[in-house]
Amino acid sequence: MRVIHTIAELRVGLRGITGIVLVPTMGNLHQGHLDLVRIARQHGQFVVVSIFVNPLQFGINEDYSKYPRTLEQDCKALEQCGTDVVFAPSEHDLYPQPQQVTVELPPVANELCGAFRPGHFRGAATVVLKLFNIVQPYIAVFGKKDYQQLYLMRQMTAQLNLPIEIIGGETVRASDGLALSSRNQYLNVAERTEAVFLYQNLVRTRQAIMDGATDFLKLERQVMEVLGAHGWRVDYVAIRSQVNLAEPTAGECSLVILAAAWLGQTRLIDNLEVLREG
């Protein structure tokens, strides 16, 4: 496995290589990321994992400066699961000048997480498009944990005719059900015990939908209230269409329950897909 820090060196290193699969990450890797690498390995001949904490996708008051940077530890883990190249560019290499050319996304980028993190998805899509152009993969793998991001990356790729297939990897969970996330380590012991309550409420909501509940606003409100009563500060709970992340039409069967909420200083997101009978 090679660790490459500059675009120029990467271009030379990848010359003549085909069948590249890219797993874009911000590092501080956990089992969820490693599972994406495993999927990448299954689909392509050559796996590139990018590690870059992208300033463009963090708001002014967000955790950019404290986001954990653990390159050495990440490389050890990646070496063991069959990564060919780790691409870890510097901020200056990726943004040698202020990034004024950005990706304009569909309006749904301003809903759900986008409503609470203005510009976040524009920043994420812009860096991913740059990484696509630099690495030139034919497949890229993203986690379903960031469901809205995965949807928007699919839209960007399709609408800009990028010759790249986007694959979504299932969310990996701790034994109690909490979705793995680099931000879980911000939680103190009491918060970590409480954190699974978000997932448990998504599971309850999924069951209610499968049992025939159709008043989605009521279901969303119930989860927000119950989380609020447990001391969470809820950004949103929303039941949407898997197809376009819009509010579901009456007969729509492929749904997803998405939520984002704060426990103390930590913002957690999670989602569950649900198929109901038509």
| The one among 14, 22, 25, 216 contacting ligand PAF by CB under 6 A | 25
The least CB distance from residue 204 to ligand PAF, in Å, is: 27
Read off the tokens for 136: 């030139």
**33 an active-site residue?**
yes
Total of chain residues touching ligand PAF, rule CB under 6 A: 10
Under 8 Å CB-to-CB from 207, ≥6 apart: which residues?
none
- Residue 248 binds to ligand PAF (criterion: CB under 6 A): no
In the complex with ligand PAF, the residue whose CB is nearer, 146 or 235, is 146
The least CB distance from residue 84 to ligand PAF, in Å, is: 18
The least CB distance from residue 251 to ligand PAF, in Å, is: 33
d(C-alpha 234, C-alpha 195), whole Å: 13
Q: Which range touches ligand PAF (CB under 6 A), out of 20-28, 100-108, 154-162, 266-274?
A: 20-28
d(C-alpha 173, C-alpha 5), whole Å: 31
CA atoms lying within 13 Å on the CB side of residue 90: 7
d(C-alpha 245, C-alpha 243), whole Å: 6
The least CB distance from residue 128 to ligand PAF, in Å, is: 5
d(C-alpha 197, C-alpha 178), whole Å: 8
- Residue 54 binds to ligand PAF (criterion: CB under 6 A): yes
Which is the catalytic residue, given 5, 30, 33, 43? 33
- Residue 137 binds to ligand PAF (criterion: CB under 6 A): no
d(C-alpha 197, C-alpha 26), whole Å: 26
For residue 24, report the phi and psi dihedrals to the nearest 5 degrees.
-80, 130
| The one among 128, 129, 187, 208 contacting ligand PAF by CB under 6 A | 128
| The one among 28, 57, 155, 171 contacting ligand PAF by CB under 6 A | 57
- Residue 28 binds to ligand PAF (criterion: CB under 6 A): no
Read off the tokens for 15: 């010359």
- Closest to 274 (Cα-Cα) out of 253, 260, 248: 253
Question: Which residues bind to ligand PAF, rule: CB under 6 A?
Answer: 24-26, 54, 57, 124, 127-128, 146, 149
